[in-house]
Every structure is written in C-alpha cells, then in structure tokens.
Amino acid sequence: SQQGEEDPQALSIQEGENATMNCSYKTSINNLQWYRQNSGRGLVHLILIRSNEREKHSGRLRVTLDTSKKSSSLLITASRAADTASYFCATDAKQAGTALIFGKGTTLSVSS
Amino acid sequence: SAVISQKPSRDICQRGTSLTIQCQVDSQVTMMFWYRQQPGQSLTLIATANQGSEATYESGFVIDKFPISRPNLTFSTLTVSNMSPEDSSIYLCSVGLGSDNSPLHFGNGTRLTVT
C-alpha cells in the first residue's frame, strides 16, 4: 500500500522559478526521503530528513518535515531544465528494516 | 554508493511465458528489494530478497507469481511467471547499504511489455 501522497501531481514552471512539492503520509515514521526519477531511469536519492528534524538543506533543495501534520515539502530553488523529472517521497513505514513505501509522485516540467 | 546492474534493461514477452530479471551489485549488501512501477504510477514493493532464505513478500504478491532467488550478498533474481499484459511494468532492484533506514540505491530497471 502507498504511504505518501504528493501534490501537485504535475507542475510546470519556467527556468529560474522555484518548485514546491508536498507529501503527506499516514503512519509514524523514522525518516522521510525524497527521490528523483528521470524518464525511463531508476531512482536517485536526493535527501533524507529524520523524524526529529524540521528542516534540511542540500544545495538548491530544501526539505521540511512536520510530524504533527504528517507532511513534508520539497523546495527546489532557481530551477533548471535538467530538474525536469518525477519526484517521489518515501517513508519507512515499518518498525525495522529499510524497505521504503513510496508516494504517487509529482511530475515536474521546467521549460527554458 | 553501489553500482547496480539489472538485466535485461527491457524485454517484450508473450502472454503465458516467464521472464527472469537479474540484479548484480558491485559490493556485498544486506538489504535487497524488488519494486514494480506500473505505467505512470509510483513504486510498489514486491518483496525483500533475503540471502539464504525465502523472500518476504508484500500483500498482493505471491511466490508462485514472483519467485525470487538470493544466492549471495551481491546477486538476486526476480522471475515474473505466467505473464499477462497486466504485468507490463518497470521492475526495479534496489539495495540498502547502511544501517536501518539508510537511502536506497536503485538499478535502472527492467521495462517489461507483455503482449
């Protein structure tokens, strides 16, 4: 079953603009992760935020986590055409082990 | 990080046949998983491949349909048996390198089309 629900499902922006994607989940988590998938490829890990963290940065990425609302957001600043991809949040719904449950994803299209 | 090689990268198969997908990792890993991604959808966990024992399947997936082997810490196979068009998906092998909850690394997937 899917744990995370992203919105929007699709997002189209111009280069240089910021892109914000949101993720909601249902059960308690140890951490939440964001992944990117370019068309026809495997997934690439972007960033991991632990349940005791509220915000994390990595380059042009900023992730927030609100465990009281069971939600997270991914902000990509100053977007580039190369950021065009699908973005998924993933949570570890199980108590132990590293199998992740993925959300439905947001498809981001950045035009130049 | 780890280099994960999946074979084949894509295949077109006839209904009723079976396809075995191979996943080779360039280092020993404890946790190995198989996911399915149906067209335009997210990833669904099929099973955890356990070295030396039977795989642990998620709800909705059974061993007869998706037999998995894990003979050692660097290799696993997933077989899609008695295929139907509904099995057309991308199948992804992934590994966890570190302690619990570490990021997963993915192969490029196998794009399967069943006609």
Query: What share of chain B has pLDDT > 70, as a percent?
Result: 97
Q: Is A107 on the interface with B (CB under 8 A)?
A: no
pLDDT tens string B35-65: 999 988 899 999 999 888 899 999 999 999 9
What pLDDT score does B70 carry? 95
More confidently predicted of A42 and B16: B16
Q: Is B45 exposed, middle or buried (0-12, 13-18, 19+ CB in 10 A)?
A: buried
Amino acid B23 reads C
Q: Which of A21, A4, A110 is nearest to A63 (CA)?
A: A21
Q: Which of residues 81-100 of A touch B (CB under 8 A)?
A: 88, 90, 92, 96-100
What pLDDT score does A39 carry? 85
The set of residues, in sequence order, having a beta carbon less than 8 Å from that of B52 and lying 6+ positions away, is B70
List of E strands, B1-115? 4-7, 10-13, 19-25, 31-37, 43-49, 56-57, 68-72, 75-80, 89-96, 104-106, 110-114
Separation of alpha carbons A34 and A49, rounded Å: 9
Cβ separation A102–B43 shorter than 8 A: yes
What pLDDT score does A1 carry? 44
The set of residues, in sequence order, having a beta carbon less than 8 Å from that of A54 and lying 6+ positions away, is A64, A65, A66
Separation of alpha carbons B33 and A92, rounded Å: 13
The predicted model gives B81-101 an average pLDDT of: 88
Q: How many CB pairs under 8 A join A and B?
A: 62
Lowest mean pLDDT among A9-13, A66-70, B21-25, B102-106: B102-106
Residue A58 tokens read as 């990595």
Residues of chain A with pLDDT under 70: 1-4, 93-98
Cβ separation A30–B48 shorter than 8 A: no
On the question of a cis peptide bond just before residue B67, with omega within 30 degrees of 0, the verdict is no
The predicted model gives B90-111 an average pLDDT of: 85
What pLDDT score does B98 carry? 67
Residue B89, Ramachandran bin (φ over 0: left; ψ between -120 and 50: alpha; else beta): beta
What pLDDT score does A109 carry? 97
pLDDT tens string A41-73: 889 999 999 999 999 999 999 999 999 999 999
What pLDDT score does A94 carry? 56
Specify the pairing of strand A5-7 against strand B56-57: unpaired
Q: Is B82 on the interface with A (CB under 8 A)?
A: no
pLDDT for B101 beyond 60: no
What pLDDT score does B77 carry? 97
Cβ separation B111–A41 shorter than 8 A: no
Cβ separation A41–B109 shorter than 8 A: yes
